[in-house]
Amino acid sequence: MHFRKVFSLSLACLVTLFTIRAAAQQPAASSQPSAPPRDERLWKKALDIQRKAIVVDTHNDILSMMTDDSYDIGVSSVGKYHTDIARMKQGGLTAEFFSVYIDRTYVRDGGSARRALDMIDYVYSAAERYPNDLMMAYSTADIRRAKKQNKIAALMGIEGGHAIEDSLMALRDFYRLGIRYMTLTHNNTNNWADSCCDEAKHNGLSDFGKEVVREMNRIGMLVDVSHVSDKTMSDVLDLSTAPVIASHSSARALADRTRNIPDDLLRRFAKNGGVVMVNFYPGFIDKNVVAASKERDDRLKAQVDELRATYKDDSKRLGEELNKLLAANPLPATPLSALIDHFDHIAKIAGIDHVGIGSDFDGVPSLPVGMEDISKLPNITYELLKRGYSETDIKKILGDNFMRAFAQAERVAQTSSKRLSGDGSVKRISQKK
Ligand SMILES: [Zn+2]
């Protein structure tokens, strides 16, 4: 149900509502690019770097399945999901940000904050169930401790600013519960910030939106600008006194999607000291898939409209029929090189200190060849070695850049003059005008 995240307003959006959990079983894309034979000496070096590095993935949606399907992350989900503890270890992961994704329907139906509280509890219970594998973490020091103890640091980021229900008190409470970043919007514009994929209402950040950013800086919660509009991102980069992150966004210059970041904003991350974590989804990284997806949407529009009319009162059946239609019209496969191109591009435009990993595993219905699940992360290290990146630069991309930005945000909070919660900012958007 959460895959609706990716495809607002497109054909795939409709399908995702009902059937995406079957995505892992989706037939392979139309043609699989063949991978050249592996250089075993270089692969050995890649594994060595992966083992030594702090590897941080800043966005994974497996928590939605843990919450809605009671999925036990300690049990293998090969062929069903992209993530489980065994494959996280195989991928050499040090820290994972579990996405506390709040669907826009909670804005309509109410209960956004309650939904977040429920999801947060599932992360804690997973760490309690697997104390030798997972460790709750809230800081750079915790992540380093997890590395030393050979455990995976479990961190949390809220996705969708509507989760705070327009309250700075709720924002601070979420920080106390362990939330360390918030994505200011999802694909829906909320009451104080414009989204990338919805109508603009605030010309970026409203006055209250600016209060939210200042308060996040003050308490040490990272400001995440994935999913926001270009103007909102620009307002945040103007305002934030701490490094800004894009927890799972790719480069618009390589794949023309509003969900991606244009070069002029990428350059501003360098000045801000922020980091852009590359999203792995083919629909955001592969221009051939972007084009094929648009062409498919147009080509199948009549059939989709007919299905919608036929099954307007049977959403489950509608989803299944749409899924069949998609399966019969697959998109081209995406080679791993298309993903690595985004690391290259952002490193070139923003600088090698400003790029990282934000997979969106279990938040997307398809992935590049060679990156089918979280165990494949070392393939990024291998491909970067092949492109001549140094060990130091690879470690920056794997996690050191994120750790630098997170540490700087921690320092900003520690040096903030306003010590009392809500000092000077106890505002809430007052409904009563
Ligand atoms: Zn997302």
Instruction: Report yes or no on 9 lying in a domain.
Output: yes
Domain that holds residue 330: 3-24+50-416
The pTM for the full model equals: 0.91
CATH number at residue 261: 3.20.20.140
Judge whether 432 lies within some domain: no
All residue ranges of the chain with pLDDT < 70 are 1-35, 417-433
161 CA to centre of ligand 1 in angstroms: 12
- Reply yes or no on whether 354 is catalytic: no
Q: Which residues surround ligand 1, an ion (CB under 5 A)?
A: 5
- Predicted pLDDT at 7: 44
From 84, 159, 165, 353, the catalytic residue: 159
**In the prediction, which pLDDT does 428 show?**
52
* pLDDT the model gives residue 4: 43
Cα 39 to averaged position of ligand 1 atoms, centre (Å): 34
Among candidates 334, 346, 336, 333, which has minimal Cα distance to 377?
Answer: 336
At 16, list the tokens.
């995702």
Per-residue b or e along 124-149, where b marks 16 or more CB atoms closer than 10 Å to that residue's CB: eebbeebeebbbbbbebebbbebbee
Q: Residue 110 falls within a domain, yes or no? A: yes
In this prediction, residue 322 carries a pLDDT of: 87
- Is 36 a member of any domain? no
In a domain, 424, yes or no: no
The two tokens of residue 81 are: 């999901």
Task: Kindly name the residue from 165, 198, 341, 360 that is annotated as catalytic.
Answer: 360
Measured CA distances, 308 to 2, 158, 303, 402 (Å): 20, 32, 9, 43
Is 83 in contact with 62 (CB distance < 8 Å)?
yes
Task: Please report whether residue 423 resides in a domain.
Answer: no
DSSP states along 366-388: ---TT-SSGGGTHHHHHHHHHTT
Catalytic residue among 186, 202, 342, 345: 186
227 is catalytic: yes
Single-letter code of the amino acid located at 156: M
Cα 6 to middle of ligand 1, angstroms: 7
Range 120-123, long-range pairs (CB < 8 A, 24+ positions): 120/156, 120/174, 120/177, 120/178, 120/179, 122/63, 122/66, 122/67, 123/63, 123/66, 123/98, 123/154, 123/156, 123/178
Question: What's the Cα-to-Cα distance from 291 to each of 198, 256, 283, rounded to whole Å?
Answer: 21, 9, 9
> Which pLDDT tens digit goes with each residue over 207-248?
999 999 999 999 999 999 999 999 999 999 999 999 999 999
Distance 153 CA to ligand 1 centre (A): 21
Q: How far is the CA of 205 from the centre of ligand 1 (A)?
A: 19
Q: How many domains does one find in the chain?
A: 1
In a domain, 34, yes or no: no
Is 82 a residue of the active site?
Answer: no
Burial of residue 427 (CB within 10 Å: 0-12, 13-18, 19+) is: middle
pLDDT at 8: 45
Centroid of ligand 1 to alpha carbon of 198 (angstroms): 14
The reply to whether 215 falls in a domain is yes
